Amino acid sequence: MASDTEIIVIGSGPAALAAAKILTHNGIDFQIITEDSKPGQNKVCGGFVSGRAIDDFDLKDIPNSYPVLAVRMKFPGMDSVIVQFDEQVGVNVDRGDLGSYLLKQADIIRSNHYFDCSVTSIERIQRKMVCNVQSGDEKFQVSSGLVIDCSGANPVSLKRGLVRNRLDNGQMGYAMQYHLETDESIPTVNDFYYGKTFSPGGYAWIFPRGQHVVVGTGGLISRVKSAKKNLNEYLNTLLLYISEHENRLNDHRVIKREAAVLPLSGPVTPNHANGILLAGDAGGQCSPITGEGIHYALFAGRIAASVAIEAAREKRFDDDFLKKYDKLWQKEFGSDLKWGLRLQSLFLDSGSDRMNNSFLSSKKNQRKIAELLLGIRSVRGTIFSIIPSYVKSKLLG
């Protein structure tokens, strides 16, 4: 079996479904190919959607969402602090619920697309992009002028070097998380725990959704591999700490364990080549500080779709035409990734051990950091707003 379409979208995450929404509304012939039956159901993610993402992409009615109005932060050598907000700053959601919501927004006819299908490889054949697809024992091909590859942190289009090399272990992160079930509903305060006690050069997180709580930790793969403890031990240490020192989550049941890789590289280029655009995790479009990628993926998918529409109408799927994609996404959010990478070594590399207590004990700085973690404040804006007090704290001790 073989079929042909104008655009192929690989994946069913936020980038893919944001692209699908734009393509549908512009009457472009396209097909989604995804290994998922239900979008987002198997995605390893804390599930926080920022207020900015909600506003920018009209995500106000995600089912079973839990409003976040506060953040708790724990830095080395300090007690945990809570920063409250007057209004909702985001929501915690199940990624399956988010996926279903975005799929509904995309307004596609599911039977016209390929769900439960895996793209095993991509080839360029006579100016066509040919996806080799497998569904169970069945193998077939789908071809198009352009592929928008949103297939995750290890995208299928990089298997044969069609765009660039894959990211190395110093650019990729590895995260593990537990899903907990509790007897009572947990207040929706998102926790961030920094320091080598809780993570091998990253941070740990706790994101509650009523009686369901996601607890995770992670760091750069190179750090995870060289750590003396495995990630399970870090998570168990975190759970023991919050039980003994904060009297929280004393009665819980671990109902699921999962792990995944994610890009923490800062801005990566190129994310385009003849007949291919990379978006979302596939394009390395993820915060180097927090690992948050939903907002950036939505932007990337929307931008990729807009470029794809122009390309389809002009019949220009060549590298020279598609290079505008890299310019557009970098203009939109490249600064966050660039400055996030610069902040990574200070904020994550040593688990904040290099940030002294006089700087972190400032309530003003605590709020700025909380706003950064929740996506309220840009990375560049945060850096330039805290530099004076950070330098002063270093000089005065």
> Among the residues of the chain, which ranges form H helices?
14-25, 51-56, 95-106, 221-226, 231-246, 294-314, 319-322, 324-329, 335-344, 357-360, 363-373, 379-396
8-state DSSP, 167: P
Question: What is the per-residue pLDDT for 201?
Answer: 82
What is the model's pLDDT at position 2? 61
Taking the C-alpha atoms of residue 274 and residue 127, their distance in angstroms, rounded to an integer, is: 9
Give the CATH H-level superfamily of domain 2-44+97-166+267-339: FAD/NAD(P)-binding domain (3.50.50.60)
Phi and psi, residue 189, nearest 5°: -115, 120
Which pLDDT does position 350 carry in this prediction? 44
> Residues 6 or more apart from 323 whose CB is under 8 A from it?
270, 272
Query: Among 40, 36, 38, 39, which residue's Cα sits nearest to residue 135?
Result: 36
Give the SS3 label for residue 44.
Answer: coil
Residue intervals in the chain for CATH 3.30.9.10:
66-92+169-263
Contact, 145 vs 312, CB < 8 A?
yes
Characterize the bridge pairing of strands 146-149 and 138-144: unpaired
Structure confidence at residue 361 (pLDDT): 83
CB 93 within 8 Å of CB 66: yes
**Directed axis angle between helix 95-106 and helix 14-25, to 10°?**
10
> What DSSP designation does 207 have?
E
Task: Compute the C-alpha angle 8/10/14, nearest 5°.
Answer: 115
Q: What is the pLDDT of residue 154?
A: 96
Q: What is the pLDDT along the chain (397 residues), one digit of tens a residue?
A: 566 999 999 999 999 999 999 999 999 999 999 999 999 999 999 999 999 999 999 999 999 999 999 999 998 888 999 999 999 999 999 999 999 999 999 999 999 999 999 999 999 998 899 999 999 999 999 999 999 999 999 999 999 999 999 999 999 999 999 999 999 999 999 999 998 999 998 899 999 999 999 999 999 999 999 999 999 999 999 999 999 999 999 999 999 999 999 999 999 999 999 999 999 999 999 999 899 999 999 999 999 999 999 999 999 999 999 999 999 999 999 999 999 998 877 665 444 455 556 678 889 999 999 999 999 999 888 888 887 766 555 545 5
Q: Pick the closest to residue 355 from 390, 396, 395 (CA basis).
A: 390
- The H-or-E segment that residue 254 falls in is strand 252-263
Rounded Cα–Cα distance for residues 238 and 249 (Å):
11
Of 210, 156, 217, which is closest to residue 16 (Cα–Cα)? 156
Tell me, what's the pLDDT at 391? 58
Residues of the chain with CATH 3.50.50.60: 2-44+97-166+267-339
Q: What is the pLDDT of residue 385?
A: 87
**66-92+169-263 falls under which CATH superfamily?**
D-Amino Acid Oxidase, subunit A, domain 2 (3.30.9.10)
Are the CB atoms for 43 and 189 separated by under 8 Å? Answer: no
Residues 156 and 119 sit within 8 Å (Cβ to Cβ): yes
